[in-house]
Amino acid sequence: MRKLLTLLAAAMALTGLLAATALAGTMVTYANFPPAKTFPCVQMERWKVEVEKRTNGELTVQTFPGSTLLGPKNMLRGVQTGQADIGCISTAYYPGVFPFMDVVNLPVAFTTTEAASLTMWDLYLKYQPAELKDVKVLTLFTSAPSQIMSKEPVKALDDLSGMPLRASGTILQILSGLGAHGVGMPMSQTPEALQKGVVKGLVSSFDVLKDFNFAESCRYETITNLPVYPFAVIMNKAKWDSLPDDVKKVLDDLGREQSQWTGQYLDNHIKESLQWSKDQYQVEVFELTGAEHDKIKELGTPLVDEWKVAAAKAGIDAETVLADMLALKAKYEA
Ligand code: 3IO
């Protein structure tokens, strides 16, 4: 009986200790829209591990991949209102909402994800755009340059005529200039759209061939080097304000590093994904001619002008921001 009581007392003390530890720390929720295997969620899990390690567990992160907490289009509002503490948004799903960050989605032919991601981060830090003032930006990154993945071969630009392809943001306008039929929808809805046949392919980065198994239905890949999609990881402002200073410092110190880590991860992963797709499904990869690349470039010029007008309307010094972006791109691609 004595022994039992001692054991019971010890167990209660341990429980109390664990509860106290949990109380001393803060738990935050982190919502993401695509499935767990995809790169936005891989970077989320890496961020969680690093944060919990670097804060010695003072901050714990509960992750919700696959739109289990918030979806692609209610992510921004959901974080602003505190349904989730942290959320990952693809800014191309919010036309007109991010007039500054849209600059990263312009057809300037980024060659690596790492360069595009670091460019986005540096631009944000320098200008602190008004459109992100009501949330805390934890990190920023992009997808890799966008390519066509389709059920029917696109060996030349003429093959695009009337072809319905899923995309978002500026790529939609380029597709219409090429005679294709761009269908705007979030990445997370694309598996169903492909399966139902409402689109015959998509324009995004090659990581999705493996991570969504799109290689199975989209056996034809065409190298177009279209724009990257910008992503922002944002935190509810009141939640951020409530965090202790030492935790804030850990998160601030991680922002740029996380951006670079994600860029490097994706640059490696698109290669691995394409090789996997060749091995698994014998996908074919088509290269366009120089003249065709020139045509794509030509179609991009009015988009840059349109961005300048929209940015100026939002009070952004468009010429300076664009010049800065191109300088950062050159620096990081050197
Ligand atoms: C993307 C979005 C979600 C999951 C994996 C992804 N790989 C590339 C993208 C970019 C994209 O097409 C988009 O809609 O953000």
For ligand 1, is residue 89 a contact (CB within 6 Å)?
A: no
Report percent pLDDT > 70 for the chain.
93
CB 36 within 8 A of CB 191: no
ipTM of this complex prediction, to 2 decimal places = 0.98
User: How many angstroms separate the Cα of 239 from the Cα of each of 23, 27, 47, 51, 242?
Assistant: 16, 11, 18, 16, 5
Ligand 1, from 204, 224, 269, 273: best to mutate by most atoms within 8 Å of Cβ? 204
Span from the CA of 203 to the centroid of ligand 1 (angstroms): 9
pLDDT at 65 over 90: yes
What is the average per-residue pLDDT within 48-56?
A: 98
- How many A from CA of 143 to the centre of ligand 1? 6
For range 310-327, the mean pLDDT: 98
Q: What's the gap in Å between 72 CA and the centre of ligand 1?
A: 11
For residue 23, the model assigns a pLDDT of 55
Pairwise CA distance, residues 328 & 158, whole Å: 34
CA 267 – ligand 1 centroid, Å: 14
Residue 125's pLDDT is: 98
- By most ligand atoms within 8 Å of CB, the mutation choice from 45, 94, 185, 208 for ligand 1 is 208
Provide the mean pLDDT of the chain: 95
Which is nearest to 247 in space by CA: 265, 235, 260?
235
Helices (H), the chain: 2-24, 39-54, 75-80, 113-127, 170-177, 190-196, 207-211, 237-242, 245-281, 290-313, 318-333
| Mean local confidence (pLDDT), 216-227 | 98
Ligand 1 pocket residue status of 40, Cβ below 6 Å = yes
> Average of pLDDT values for 249-256?
98
For residue 204, give the 3-state DSSP assignment.
strand
pLDDT mean over 146-159: 98
Q: Which of 33, 39, 76 to mutate to test the pocket of ligand 1 (most atoms within 8 A of CB)?
A: 39
Query: pLDDT digit string (tens) for 36-49?
Result: 999 999 999 999 99
- DSSP SS3 for 64: strand
Cβ–ligand 1 distance for 142 under 6 Å, the answer: no
Per-residue pLDDT tens over the stretch 160-216: 999 999 999 999 999 999 999 999 999 999 999 999 999 999 999 999 999 999 999
Q: Which pLDDT score is estimated for 18?
A: 52
The structure tokens listed for 152 are: 């029917």
pLDDT confidence tier of residue 15, bands split at 50, 70 and 90: low
Q: How far is residue 5's CA from residue 16's CA, in Å, rounded to a whole number?
A: 16
What is the Cβ-side half-sphere exposure of residue 85, based on CA atoms within 13 angstroms? 17
Q: Ligand 1 in contact with 34 (CB < 6 A)?
A: yes
pLDDT at 290: 98
pLDDT digits (tens, 9 = 90+) for 67-125: 999 999 999 999 999 999 999 999 999 999 999 999 999 999 999 999 999 999 999 99
Is the predicted pLDDT of residue 8 greater than 70, yes or no? no
pLDDT at residue 20 is higher than 80: no
